Amino acid sequence: MNRRKFIKNTSTAAAGVTILNFPVFGKNAPSNKVILAVMGVNSRGSYLAKSFASLPNVEVAYICDVEDGAIKNGLEALKDAPRKPTVIKDIRKLLKQNDFDALAVAAPDHWHTPAAILGVQNGKHVYVEKPCGQNPYEGELISQAYSKYGKHIQMGNQRRSMPTLIEAAKLIKEGIIGKAYFAKAWYANNRASIGVGKVIPVPSTLDWDLWQGPAPRKQFKDNIVHYNWHWFWNWGTGEACNNGTHEIDCCRWFLGLDYPTKVTSAGGRYAFKDDWETTDTQVASFEFGDEKAITWESRSCNNYPVEGESRGFIIYGDGGTLVNDGGGGYKIFDTKNKLVKEGKTDVAAEANNLVSSTGNLDLYHFQNFVDTVRGDAKLNSPVNEGSKSVLLCHLANIAQRSGGVLHCDPSNGHILNNPEAMKLWQREYEKGWKPVV
């Protein structure tokens, strides 16, 4: 989908807005302009910055990162934007600036909740990439902050804003496949080994202390920054939160579910023997009473597809089946497996694209956020809703790490009668960095 077509399809209302019902800061900003800062611009964050800057009446005023190469990437992404962004490396200093409206957070997972909370505490709206917390406790914290500070917090589960999937979810709820009772999701990739890291001096281009921020301090190794932190529990959340969030969220959305009653997980680090701490192979199941269930299969190091796709989800009902193609497309079949309806997009999913697996379909989600900041829309994925899906991913990890079945309170997802598993509900923080709402 090209930008012109996207704007024509989605931004009619935004283009006509001239009066806002809330203050937008920035002495150089017209009243209908949303001014952003982006934290974490090495890869996905650079894409976010460029994408937000491409939307009507949106400017990126600041980029924030602690590594010189990432900053270069961020500046390169915005080289054609009308406004050249200012670089501020320390997020705490950035948020003291009063001339921007919203913060987009694309830093590593351990920064998502602390940065988002700092953002709303300093009067900023926040777009935070998934997962919205490094652990279940942070999901609760960020939801509390969303309620307390009166600022919008949108999570980056972009499928919630794709028109085809909004349509598909509505059709499921209207009963096009009868009673929908089971969903399965999957993700497959061919990630290489990260090897055994060597302790080396911190590069002069990186502020390692600020990069770690809220996380307890670890020695710098040569196989952590930029991407491999995903596979270390001190900073990352494994494939479950890294990619599972998207499809698990769709399964929960389409089935109309909140919190599970039972969670199990099987898997391990099977493909290689290296520093990778999380699983490379995982099958998690989530039960919701005796009515509905979800499963998620992850293979980080074997990319053989399911249903011909490297990622996607299927919704099963007593009157048919919906199959997603890994992006915004879907097909609906009746009980005889005859195709009865299809939803297509003009963007093919790239399941293993590290920047955006769904391409410019993400723009729908970004537009929804800025429209909500303007006062013209409601968030398609407010963080108190998105965190429910992230919690499922965390529970899968906790079940895997604790080696047992988790029984959960269906009113809030809390683990019942399992003190060992509950030790993983939250993390330790570096002294002076614990987020407080």
Cβ burial 352-380 (10 Å sphere, 16+ → b, else e): eeeebbbbbbbbbbbbbbbbbbbebbebb
Beta bridge partners of 105: 39, 128
| CATH 3.90.950.10 fits domain 160-196+209-351+382-422 | no
Q: Where in the chain are the domains? A: 3-158, 160-196+209-351+382-422
Other C-beta atoms closer than 10 Å to the C-beta of 291 total: 11
60: pLDDT strictly greater than 90: yes
8: pLDDT strictly greater than 50: no
% of the chain surpassing 90 pLDDT:
89
pLDDT value for 31: 65
Task: Give the Cα separation of 88 and 60 in Å (integer).
Answer: 13
15: pLDDT strictly greater than 60: no
171: pLDDT strictly greater than 80: yes
430: pLDDT strictly greater than 90: yes
Q: What is the pLDDT of residues 302-357, one digit of tens each?
A: 999 999 999 999 999 999 999 999 999 999 999 999 999 999 998 877 867 878 87
Q: What is the pLDDT of residues 375-399, one digit of tens each?
A: 999 999 999 999 999 999 999 999 9
Beta bridge partners of 153: 126
pLDDT mean over 34-42: 98
- Asked if residue 140 lies in contact with residue 113, where contact means CB atoms within 8 angstroms, the answer is no
pLDDT value for 256: 98
Q: What is the pLDDT of residues 246-279, one digit of tens each?
A: 999 999 999 999 999 999 999 999 999 999 999 9
| Cis check: omega of the bond before 201, within 30 degrees of 0 | no
User: What band does 7 get if pLDDT is binned at 50, 70 and 90?
Assistant: very low
Average pLDDT, the chain: 93
pLDDT value for 349: 75
pLDDT mean over 6-19: 34
pLDDT value for 337: 98
User: What band does 132 get if pLDDT is binned at 50, 70 and 90?
Assistant: very high
2: pLDDT strictly greater than 70: no
Q: What is the pLDDT of residues 402-411, one digit of tens each?
A: 999 999 999 9
CA distances to 132, 232, 277, 305 from 236, in Å? 12, 5, 10, 25
| CATH 3.90.1150.10 fits domain 3-158 | no
Rounded to two decimals, what is the model's pTM?
Answer: 0.93
